[in-house]
Amino acid sequence: MKKQGLHNKLVKAFLVQILLISLATLFGVFSAEKIVEKVLVRQALVGEAAHFWMRYQQNPDFPTPDTLNLKGYLAVDNSFANIPEPLQKKLPGYFRADFNGRKPIVYIEDYRSARLYLVFDEEQVANLAFYFGVVPLSLVLLLIYLFAWLSYRQSRNAISPVIKLAYIVEQFDFRRQSLAQLDLNELRRTSDSDVIKLIDALDHFTERLEQFIQREKNFTRDASHELRTPLAVIKSSLALLQKRTDFLPNENQSIARIDHTLRDMESLIETLLLLAREESSPLPEGDVLINDLLIMLMEQINQAIGNDKVSLEIEQNCLLLIPAAEKVLAILFSNLLRNAFIYTRQGVISITIGDRQVSISDTGIGMSQHQLEHVFEPFYRAHADSNGHGLGLTIVTQLCNRYGWKLKIRSKQGEGTRITVVFPKARLLGGRTDNI
C-alpha cells in the first residue's frame, strides 16, 4: 500500500471534517423536520381539537377553525355532506392525505356523535422555515467552510517547510552525492523555530554520519592495502614451496590448504576495496550475461574447494542480462557459491536461472530459524567448525542493498539452504536448454 505524505493527510483530514460537519447538519435538519411534523404539529392539532370540543360543549354552533394554515370541518350524526370528498372515508387518526392537489397533514378525532377534521397546510410554515431556518443555516455552513479553509491554509503554511524538507531528502541521490551536498539553507528562511531546530539537528546528524562513513571507508581502504603486502610475501613464498618436489603427501595437502586460504584472503581484500571505493568511483556497468558468468564461477570454485561427493547442476530457463559491473556480480555469486560448497559435504549444489532471478540451493547442513535471524550479521558463522570468515552473506547483503537487488533465503536444518537474488532491471533474451 502506498504511504500518504503529510500534505495529503492534512487535506484528507480537512475534507473528512467538512464532510462530517455537512452530514451532521443535514441529519440535524432532517431530524428537526421530522420532530416538527411528528411531534410539534401533532401536539398542536391535538390541542386545537381539545379546545374546539371544549367550546363546542358550551356552544354547539361554535365555528370550526378557519385560518390561513388550518381548516376545520365537522360531521354530526354521520352527516358528511359538508366534509370534502377526499376526507369523507378517512378514519380518525393523524396522517397526510391528498387534498386539493396537495398533501396536507390531517387530524381526525371523534367526540360523542361528532367527528372533527383538522387540515393543516404547512406550506406557509415550510416557507418561513426555509427563509428563517435553512437560509441562515446555509450561511453558517458557508462560514464554517470558510473557517475550515483558512485553518487549512494556516496548517499548510505551518507544515510546508517540513513537506519541502521531505521532498528535498526524497530527491537527493545518496548513492551519487555525499551527505555534505545536502543543502538546506533555503529552508532556514522560515520563521518557524521548530523547523529551524529540525534542520539544525538534521545537519548535525548528516555531518556526523558523513564523518563516520568516511572513517569507515578510509579504514577499509587502508587496512586492505596494508594487508596486501604480507599476502604478497606469503604468495611468493608459497610459489617457491610449490616448486619443490620432496614433500610428503600430508605436506602437499597442507600447502594446498595454504593456497586455498590465500586465495580466499585475496578475494576478501578485493571485495573490501571494492566496497570502499565504489561510491567515490563507481565501476563501469554493462549488460552481463549471467549464464556464462555463473558457469565460469562454478567451475573455478569447484576446482578450488569442490569434492567428489558433491555434484553440480545448473538449470538455465532463459538467457538473463543484468545491467551491472561484472566484477560486482562475480563477487556476489562467488560468496554464495563458496558458502554452498563449504556447508555441503555431500549431495547436490544447483543453480537455477529464471525470470529476473538466480537461485543457488544446496543439500548441505542447513540452518535453524535462530541462525537465519543472525546470518547476515558481520563475522557471524552459523556453524563454528566451518572455514568461512563470517563475512560472505554480509558482503552479499551490502551489494544487494547498494544496487537495489532483492535477497531471499530459505533454509532448514539438515536439509539445505536456498538463496535467491532478484534483479528487477534484468532483461530476458529467451529460452535455453543446455542445462548442465
**What total of structural domains would you count in the chain?**
3
Predicted structure pTM score: 0.48
pLDDT of residue 2: 47
Domain ranges, residue 86: 6-125
Strands 310-316 and 347-354: parallel
How many helices (H) does the chain have, and how many strands (E)?
Answer: 11, 12
> What nine digits make up the cell of 424?
528487477
Q: Are residues 269 and 322 in the same domain?
A: no
* 111, part of any domain: yes
For residues 76 and 94, membership in a common domain is answered with: yes
- Domain CATH number, residue 193: 1.10.287.130
User: Which residue stretches of 306-362 are H helix?
Assistant: 326-342
pLDDT of residue 353: 93
Note whether residue 305 is domain-resident: yes
The number of angstroms, rounded, from the C-alpha of 228 to the middle of its chain's C-alpha atoms is 46
303 and 276 housed in the same domain: no
- Determine the Cα–Cα distance for residues 39 and 19; give it in Å rounded to an integer: 29
Distance CA 275, CA 332 (A): 12
Amino acid 1: pLDDT: 42
pLDDT digits (tens, 9 = 90+) for 273-321: 766 665 555 566 788 999 999 998 888 888 777 788 889 999 999 999 9
pLDDT number for residue 93: 93
For residues 107 and 33, membership in a common domain is answered with yes
pLDDT at 72: 93
C-alpha cell recorded at residue 95: 396522517
Over residues 298-308, the pLDDT tens digits come to 888 887 777 88
Distance of CA 27 to CAs 20, 30, 243, 349, Å? 10, 5, 98, 70
Same domain, 52 and 118: yes
| pLDDT the model gives residue 351 | 94
The reply to whether 357 falls in a domain is yes
CA–CA separation, 288 vs 301, rounded Å?
A: 20
Cα(414)–Cα(363) distance, integer angstroms: 8
Q: How many beta carbons lie within 10 A of that of residue 43, not counting itself?
A: 10
Burial 310-336 (b: 16+ CB within 10 A, else e): bebebebebbbbbebbbebbbbbbbbb
* Residue 182 located in a structural domain: yes
User: Is 106 part of any domain?
Assistant: yes
In this structure, is residue 24 part of a structural domain?
yes
Same domain, 375 and 422: yes
User: Mean pLDDT per segment of 10 residues, for the chain of length 436 residues?
Assistant: 60 80 75 68 89 92 89 90 88 88 88 92 64 68 80 70 68 63 65 70 76 72 69 80 70 74 72 61 76 89 81 91 88 88 89 93 87 71 54 79 90 90 88 54
What is the predicted pLDDT for the residue at 392? 67
Calculate the CA 347 to chain-centre distance. 42
Dihedral sign of CA atoms 412, 418, 419, 421 in order: negative
Spatial separation of the C-alpha atoms in residues 133 and 137, rounded to whole Å: 6
CATH number, domain at 312? Answer: 3.30.565.10
Q: Are 258 and 240 in contact (CB under 8 A)?
A: no
- Residue 157 domain-assigned? no
Query: What single DSSP character describes residue 283?
Result: P
Do 308 and 262 share a structural domain? no
Domain boundary among 125, 156, 182: 125
Residue-level length of the chain: 436
Considering the domain architecture, whether residues 320 and 333 belong to the same structural domain is answered as: yes
Count of alpha carbons within 13 angstroms of residue 321, beta-carbon side: 8
Which residues share a beta bridge with 95? 106
Last residue of a domain, one of 247, 282, 317: 282
pLDDT at 368: 83
Asked whether residue 238 falls in the same domain as residue 290, the answer is no
208 with 187, same domain: the answer is yes
Residue 129: name the closest of 33, 34, 40 by CA: 33
**CA 13 to the chain's CA centroid:** 19
Task: Confirm whether 275 is domain-assigned.
Answer: yes
Burial, 81: exposed, middle or buried (Cβ in 10 Å; 0-12, 13-18, 19+)?
Answer: exposed
Sign of the alpha-carbon dihedral angle for 255, 257, 260, 266: negative
Q: Which residue from 106, 111, 133 is spatially nearest to 121, judged by alpha carbons?
A: 106
260 and 375 inside one domain: no
The pLDDT of residue 110: 93
Looking at 262, 282, 302, the residue that finishes a domain is 282
Are 247 and 255 in contact by the 8 Å Cβ rule? The answer is yes
Q: Do both 249 and 184 map to the same domain?
A: yes
